[in-house]
Amino acid sequence: MNSIPLNKGLATRVNLRRRIVDITTVMCSFCDEYEKSVDHLFTACSVAIRVWAAVSAWCNIPPIFAFEFKDLLDIHNSLQMGKKAKKLILGLVIISCWCIWKCRNELVFKQSRRSLQDILAEIKSRGFGWVKNRSSCKNISWKERCKYPMYML
């Protein structure tokens, strides 16, 4: 079975144009300054940059800078942390990407723009559910998790 790399398979405007889908514009829905590719949407768009800055500050880790989408999926490997902490960071990166994509879809399909605080609140909420239900940390506190996501380590 052949797998399509995410940067080619995700239905961004650039990928839709490549597939000869008639679309009115290939510009990014958030910033309207650059063509919306996977790399732009998740790493270079002003919305994504602000999300990564907020996630970095919340996690108390060095700022997350990525040039390509694959860099985001490897960011946890560059951190000087234990295995559990790296797994938490990778999970938060994946959740953050999902929240950015969901926010983009709400803008495109519902003309609803969400604030950075709304996006970060959803990342925290989804991250809390993921950790509480998928790890040995069943007794984590929502209040403490919101202050610092890795307090239980």
In a domain, 101, yes or no: yes
- The two tokens of residue 42 are 């998740």
- The two tokens of residue 83 are 């295995």
| Strands (DSSP E) found in the chain | none
Report whether pLDDT(54) > 50.
yes
In a domain, 55, yes or no: yes
4 — pLDDT class (breaks 50, 70, 90): very low
Q: Which residues pair with 138 in a beta bridge?
A: none
Q: pLDDT digits over 29-47, tens only?
A: 899 888 778 899 999 999 9
Nearest to 90 by CA among 3, 30, 5, 150: 150
Q: How many domains would you assign to the chain?
A: 1
In a domain, 153, yes or no: no
pLDDT at 21: 62
Report whether pLDDT(17) > 80.
no
In a domain, 1, yes or no: no
The DSSP letter of residue 78 is G
Report whether pLDDT(139) > 60.
yes
pLDDT at 19: 66
In a domain, 152, yes or no: no
Residues 6+ apart with CB under 8 A from 4: none
Q: What is the rounded distance in angstroms from the CA atom of residue 97 to the CA atom of residue 23?
A: 24
Q: pLDDT digits over 64-115, tens only?
A: 999 999 999 999 999 999 998 999 999 999 999 999 999 999 998 899 999 9
Question: What is the rounded average pLDDT of the residues 120-136?
Answer: 88
Q: How many CA atoms lie within 13 A of 82 on its CB side?
A: 5
Structural domain boundaries enclosing 67: 6-147
In a domain, 33, yes or no: yes
pLDDT at 2: 45
In a domain, 119, yes or no: yes
pLDDT at 107: 93
